[in-house]
């Protein structure tokens, strides 16, 4: 299946106006190796739009082959070492919610509860970060943000590369801080309490909490 057809039908309907642009991206990517692998690029979009309660925006996939799985910040089970950003996410999670230390980087259990894990750029070249910055993903993920904002989804924005998408969200549903990478985590990510804050907002919306 091509990239558009890999999405849940609800997303196909919501982003129907993006089909031509996505097909153009598809054509460019089929001639090169990507991470995540082709069949996982649209993994986040397999989640029904109607079930999404929280979106967490990332930058671009982990460049190490075999690590990225199509969900922002998440890693495949075969990844034996947690990426530095994810280690910091877990540190904040432990501090914020009192969770136990974790060894697995697979965040599928978040996705299954209605957390949309979306990178601003959905692919990169193996071994190189931001290699696909000019492929055209930004327009597509911006259109995604417009849809999510219109659905009163809670938006979690980590880092400057995704803050331009905040304008599509209700200001009362925005959680924003520095990026969890080692270069910036101590500049406002640690102590930001994004997980408990998201659950507090879900309570106000009358929705079920996320078991982070």
Which residues are known to be catalytic?
A: 60
Q: Tokens at residue 168, please?
A: 């599509």
Structure tokens at 173: 């549903």
Which residues fall within 8 angstroms of residue 62, CB to CB, at 6 or more apart?
35, 68, 75, 83
Alpha carbon distances (Å) from 83 to 73, 74, 86, 100, 129? 8, 9, 5, 18, 13
**Closest alpha carbon to 193 in 176, 171, 168, 169:** 176
């Amino acid at each position: 299946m091509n990239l558009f057809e890999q999405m849940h039908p609800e997303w196909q309907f919501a982003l129907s106006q993006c089909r031509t642009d996505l097909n153009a991206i598809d054509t460019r990517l089929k001639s090169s190796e990507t991470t995540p692998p082709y069949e996982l690029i649209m993994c986040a979009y397999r989640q029904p739009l109607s079930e999404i309660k929280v979106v967490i925006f990332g930058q671009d996939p982990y460049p190490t082959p075999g690590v990225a799985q199509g969900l922002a910040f998440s890693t495949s089970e075969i990844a034996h070492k947690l990426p530095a950003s994810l280690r910091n996410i877990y540190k904040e999670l432990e501090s914020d919610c009192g969770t136990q230390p974790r060894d697995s980087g697979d965040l599928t259990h978040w996705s299954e509860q209605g957390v949309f894990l979306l990178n601003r750029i959905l692919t990169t070249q193996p071994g190189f970060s931001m290699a696909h910055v000019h492929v055209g993903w930004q327009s597509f993920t911006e259109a995604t943000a417009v849809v999510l904002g219109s659905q009163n989804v809670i938006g979690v924005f980590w880092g400057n590369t995704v803050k331009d998408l905040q304008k599509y969200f209700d200001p009362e549903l925005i959680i924003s801080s520095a990026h969890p990478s080692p270069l910036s985590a101590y500049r406002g990510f640690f102590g930001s309490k994004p997980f408990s804050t998201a659950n507090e907002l879900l309570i106000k919306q009358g929705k079920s909490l996320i078991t982070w």
